Amino acid sequence: MLLVRSHDERGTFNLAIGEPFFLHEHLSFLEACATGGPYLYPQSRGEPELLKELERRHQGMHVVVTTGAKQGISAALAAYAEVYGKTEALHPAPYWPSYPILAKRELQFGLNHPQGCIEGQVPQEDLSQIHIATSPNNPDGHETTDDCDIWDAAYASPVYGHAAAPAHWNVAIYSAAKLLGLSGLRIGWAVTADAKLAKAMVTFVERYTSGVCVTSQRHLAYALKHLRMHDDHVFFDEARKTLLKNGEAFNKFLADRLVDIRGVPENGKGMFAWFCVSQEASENFKEALKVSKVLVMPGEAFGMTEPGWYRMSMGHHDNFTYQALSALAGAWK
């Protein structure tokens, strides 16, 4: 039985979290996964059984296994700095809140984006930016076909309505948490055709975590093999139905009271509702969040300078989401 930690001890509806709880109910096939030893130090690039499955998915590419997509992004940023002397990352807002932190840690000038929020002191003329695209985007589900250096492909799955990819990218980052709901394994991977970047990313992972947990790698290898052998579209199709059902509930309870809606409730893209509350309704909405004990993420965390924006997870089980939205709508006077 999988434990779904949706509430805390105060009965809060946590719709701020980014974990795809709705995928968990479809993971029963993992019960047969054998994860016996030997438990040696992990191999630098990844364990052979996992690399075999990932290289099937990304033919002709170098694959680097990481402790989650977050380390994959850090490794890619650090590799660009080391190999090509890049000093700054560029990602348009809204962006995943971890990007400023990761860029500030790995790059000289951190993160810059078109709205003017800059992490660190950015030079007047800087031609050494790393262009990042998250597609589908967290939080608004937007997809792009623009060229980029790093493609954050964590949500590039049929579950999240993925249909388009950047026309050209150098490094792509993937997440077992977002692909299969295996958040607790803390495992992701990066792929690239650039051997120099791949080597630098391997060095980064080895330097900071001495590889990735062998048991986690075996679980993921088993899951990917199962999906490949069974051509398991049912897993993704059923999970997507739950996601879209959450979007329908959002529209039922909140759509007519909002200025703008993007993401899952609007077009089924990504894993979130990204929405804007009018200035006139702002205080009432904040009070309703407190009364209903619904947690959401404010737009400022995603680099938005325009007030009133929020991100709400559509990644819970549908009954939980319905209860949370009903409580919020009832409290919003």
Q: What pLDDT score was predicted for residue 231?
A: 77
Q: What pLDDT score was predicted for residue 41?
A: 87
CATH, range 13-24+234-331: 3.90.1150.10
- 152 within 8 A of 73, measured Cβ to Cβ: yes
Q: What pLDDT score was predicted for residue 125?
A: 42
Q: Is it true that domain 42-230 has CATH number 3.40.50.2300?
A: no
Q: Report d(CA 81, CA 263) in Å as an integer.
A: 33
Beta-strand pair 171-175/150-152: parallel
- 185 within 8 A of 27, measured Cβ to Cβ: no
Q: Report d(CA 299, CA 312) in Å as an integer.
A: 10
* CATH 3.40.640.10 residue window(s) in the chain: 42-230
DSSP H or E run through 275: strand 272-276
Q: What pLDDT score was predicted for residue 331?
A: 98
Beta-strand pair 171-175/272-276: unpaired
Residue located via tokens 């939080």 = 139
Cis ω before 42 (30° cut-off from 0): no
Q: Report d(CA 175, CA 212) in Å as an integer.
A: 13
Q: What pLDDT score was predicted for residue 11?
A: 78
Q: Report d(CA 196, CA 192) in Å as an integer.
A: 9
119: helix, strand or coil: coil
CA distances from 294 to 153, 157, 227, 286 (A): 28, 28, 35, 10
Q: Report d(CA 20, CA 23) in Å as an integer.
A: 6
CA distances from 47 to 43, 187, 215, 217, 218 (A): 6, 12, 10, 7, 8
216: helix, strand or coil: helix
Q: What pLDDT score was predicted for residue 20?
A: 86
Q: Report d(CA 172, CA 303) in Å as an integer.
A: 23
Using alpha carbons, select from 314, 311, 331 the residue that is nearest to residue 322: 314
Q: What pLDDT score was predicted for residue 2?
A: 37
Q: Report d(CA 202, CA 64) in Å as an integer.
A: 6
Which residues of the chain fall below pLDDT 50?
1-4, 9, 115-125
pTM above 0.85, yes or no: yes
> For residue 295, what is the DSSP state?
E
* CATH 3.90.1150.10 residue window(s) in the chain: 13-24+234-331
pLDDT tens profile 164-201: 999 999 999 999 999 999 999 999 999 999 999 999 99
Q: Report d(CA 199, CA 150) in Å as an integer.
A: 16
